[in-house]
Structure 1
Amino acid sequence: MNWRHVTFGRALVSPGPILTPIYQQAGLNPEKMQERLDRMSATVPLARLGKQEEVAGVVAFLASSDASYITGAEIHIDGGLG
Protein backbone atom coordinates (compact mmCIF):
# COMPACT_ATOMS: atom_id res chain seq x y z
CA MET A 1 0.00 0.00 0.00
CA ASN A 2 1.21 3.51 -0.78
CA TRP A 3 1.14 5.66 2.39
CA ARG A 4 2.36 8.92 0.82
CA HIS A 5 -1.03 10.61 0.88
CA VAL A 6 -2.22 9.33 4.26
CA THR A 7 -1.90 11.61 7.27
CA PHE A 8 -1.99 10.06 10.71
CA GLY A 9 -0.31 10.43 14.09
CA ARG A 10 3.41 10.04 13.81
CA ALA A 11 4.56 9.92 17.40
CA LEU A 12 3.58 9.23 20.96
CA VAL A 13 4.60 11.59 23.74
CA SER A 14 5.07 9.93 27.13
CA PRO A 15 5.55 12.55 29.83
CA GLY A 16 6.76 11.68 33.29
CA PRO A 17 6.08 13.76 36.39
CA ILE A 18 5.42 17.30 35.21
CA LEU A 19 4.96 20.27 37.53
CA THR A 20 1.54 21.73 36.75
CA PRO A 21 -0.90 23.99 38.64
CA ILE A 22 -2.89 20.94 39.75
CA TYR A 23 -0.39 20.44 42.57
CA GLN A 24 -1.28 23.85 44.00
CA GLN A 25 -4.95 22.87 43.91
CA ALA A 26 -4.44 19.64 45.85
CA GLY A 27 -5.51 21.22 49.13
CA LEU A 28 -2.26 20.60 51.01
CA ASN A 29 -0.48 23.34 52.88
CA PRO A 30 2.59 24.65 51.03
CA GLU A 31 5.06 22.85 53.31
CA LYS A 32 3.39 19.45 52.84
CA MET A 33 3.12 20.03 49.10
CA GLN A 34 6.82 20.87 48.85
CA GLU A 35 7.66 17.68 50.76
CA ARG A 36 5.59 15.67 48.29
CA LEU A 37 7.21 17.37 45.28
CA ASP A 38 10.66 16.77 46.76
CA ARG A 39 9.87 13.05 47.19
CA MET A 40 8.65 12.85 43.59
CA SER A 41 11.76 14.66 42.33
CA ALA A 42 14.00 12.23 44.20
CA THR A 43 12.66 9.37 42.05
CA VAL A 44 13.65 11.09 38.80
CA PRO A 45 17.23 10.57 37.52
CA LEU A 46 17.51 14.29 36.67
CA ALA A 47 16.35 15.05 40.25
CA ARG A 48 13.55 17.43 39.30
CA LEU A 49 10.06 17.48 37.89
CA GLY A 50 9.55 18.44 34.28
CA LYS A 51 8.15 21.77 33.17
CA GLN A 52 5.00 22.18 31.11
CA GLU A 53 7.03 24.14 28.57
CA GLU A 54 9.34 21.17 28.03
CA VAL A 55 6.41 18.97 27.03
CA ALA A 56 4.80 21.73 24.98
CA GLY A 57 8.01 22.29 23.01
CA VAL A 58 8.21 18.64 21.98
CA VAL A 59 4.52 18.52 21.07
CA ALA A 60 4.84 21.73 19.03
CA PHE A 61 7.82 20.26 17.18
CA LEU A 62 5.96 17.01 16.45
CA ALA A 63 2.98 18.96 15.14
CA SER A 64 5.18 21.00 12.82
CA SER A 65 6.34 20.21 9.32
CA ASP A 66 9.87 19.79 10.73
CA ALA A 67 8.73 16.42 12.11
CA SER A 68 7.07 15.26 8.91
CA TYR A 69 9.43 12.29 8.52
CA ILE A 70 8.95 10.98 12.05
CA THR A 71 6.73 7.92 12.14
CA GLY A 72 5.99 5.52 14.96
CA ALA A 73 8.26 7.12 17.55
CA GLU A 74 7.66 7.26 21.28
CA ILE A 75 9.30 10.22 22.96
CA HIS A 76 9.79 10.05 26.71
CA ILE A 77 9.80 13.43 28.43
CA ASP A 78 10.45 12.05 31.86
CA GLY A 79 13.85 13.11 33.14
CA GLY A 80 15.30 9.67 32.53
CA LEU A 81 12.56 7.47 34.01
CA GLY A 82 11.63 5.88 30.69
Structure 2
Amino acid sequence: MSAGPARVTFYSRPGCHLCEEAEVVVAAVCAELGESYETVMIDADPELQARFTDEVPVTFVDGRQHDFWRVDATRLRAALTA
Protein backbone atom coordinates (compact mmCIF):
# COMPACT_ATOMS: atom_id res chain seq x y z
CA MET A 1 0.00 0.00 0.00
CA SER A 2 1.05 3.59 -0.48
CA ALA A 3 2.63 5.26 2.51
CA GLY A 4 0.94 8.64 1.95
CA PRO A 5 -2.66 9.67 2.33
CA ALA A 6 -5.32 7.77 0.43
CA ARG A 7 -5.65 8.97 -3.16
CA VAL A 8 -9.16 7.55 -3.46
CA THR A 9 -12.09 8.60 -1.31
CA PHE A 10 -15.20 6.47 -1.60
CA TYR A 11 -18.43 8.07 -0.37
CA SER A 12 -21.03 5.47 0.56
CA ARG A 13 -23.98 4.69 2.78
CA PRO A 14 -25.10 1.53 4.59
CA GLY A 15 -27.48 -0.74 2.72
CA CYS A 16 -26.62 0.65 -0.71
CA HIS A 17 -26.23 -2.22 -3.17
CA LEU A 18 -24.50 -0.01 -5.76
CA CYS A 19 -22.06 1.05 -3.04
CA GLU A 20 -21.25 -2.54 -2.20
CA GLU A 21 -20.60 -3.39 -5.86
CA ALA A 22 -18.52 -0.28 -6.47
CA GLU A 23 -16.39 -0.76 -3.37
CA VAL A 24 -15.35 -4.20 -4.62
CA VAL A 25 -14.00 -2.52 -7.78
CA VAL A 26 -12.29 0.28 -5.84
CA ALA A 27 -10.67 -2.20 -3.43
CA ALA A 28 -9.45 -4.45 -6.26
CA VAL A 29 -7.96 -1.64 -8.36
CA CYS A 30 -6.32 0.01 -5.35
CA ALA A 31 -4.84 -3.31 -4.22
CA GLU A 32 -3.56 -4.02 -7.72
CA LEU A 33 -1.82 -0.63 -7.90
CA GLY A 34 -0.64 -0.49 -4.29
CA GLU A 35 -2.87 2.48 -3.50
CA SER A 36 -5.04 2.98 -0.46
CA TYR A 37 -8.57 4.28 -0.27
CA GLU A 38 -10.79 5.58 2.46
CA THR A 39 -14.51 5.05 2.81
CA VAL A 40 -16.68 7.87 4.13
CA MET A 41 -20.25 7.12 5.17
CA ILE A 42 -22.29 10.13 4.11
CA ASP A 43 -25.13 9.55 6.58
CA ALA A 44 -22.78 10.51 9.44
CA ASP A 45 -22.47 14.06 8.07
CA PRO A 46 -25.56 16.14 7.16
CA GLU A 47 -23.57 18.22 4.67
CA LEU A 48 -22.29 15.16 2.81
CA GLN A 49 -25.72 13.56 2.97
CA ALA A 50 -27.29 16.62 1.33
CA ARG A 51 -24.53 16.84 -1.27
CA PHE A 52 -24.38 13.20 -2.35
CA THR A 53 -27.70 11.65 -1.32
CA ASP A 54 -28.84 10.77 -4.85
CA GLU A 55 -25.40 10.01 -6.28
CA VAL A 56 -23.85 7.42 -3.96
CA PRO A 57 -21.54 5.79 -4.37
CA VAL A 58 -19.28 8.70 -5.29
CA THR A 59 -15.58 8.23 -5.92
CA PHE A 60 -12.95 10.96 -5.72
CA VAL A 61 -9.38 10.57 -6.95
CA ASP A 62 -6.79 13.03 -5.68
CA GLY A 63 -9.54 15.28 -4.32
CA ARG A 64 -11.53 15.51 -7.55
CA GLN A 65 -14.82 13.76 -8.29
CA HIS A 66 -14.19 10.80 -10.56
CA ASP A 67 -17.35 8.66 -10.72
CA PHE A 68 -20.77 8.22 -9.18
CA TRP A 69 -23.22 5.32 -9.09
CA ARG A 70 -20.86 2.89 -10.80
CA VAL A 71 -17.08 2.58 -10.80
CA ASP A 72 -15.38 1.50 -14.00
CA ALA A 73 -12.17 -0.36 -13.19
CA THR A 74 -10.43 0.75 -16.39
CA ARG A 75 -11.22 4.43 -15.81
CA LEU A 76 -10.16 4.25 -12.16
CA ARG A 77 -6.91 2.47 -13.05
CA ALA A 78 -6.18 5.12 -15.71
CA ALA A 79 -6.81 7.95 -13.24
CA LEU A 80 -4.48 6.39 -10.68
CA THR A 81 -1.68 5.77 -13.16
CA ALA A 82 -1.89 9.07 -15.06
TM score, norm. by length of structure 2: 0.29
**Higher strand proportion:** 2
Under a length normalisation based on structure 1, what TM-score does the superposition of the two structures give?
Answer: 0.29
* Bigger RCO (CA 8 Å, 6+ sep): 1
Q: Which has the larger radius of gyration?
A: 1
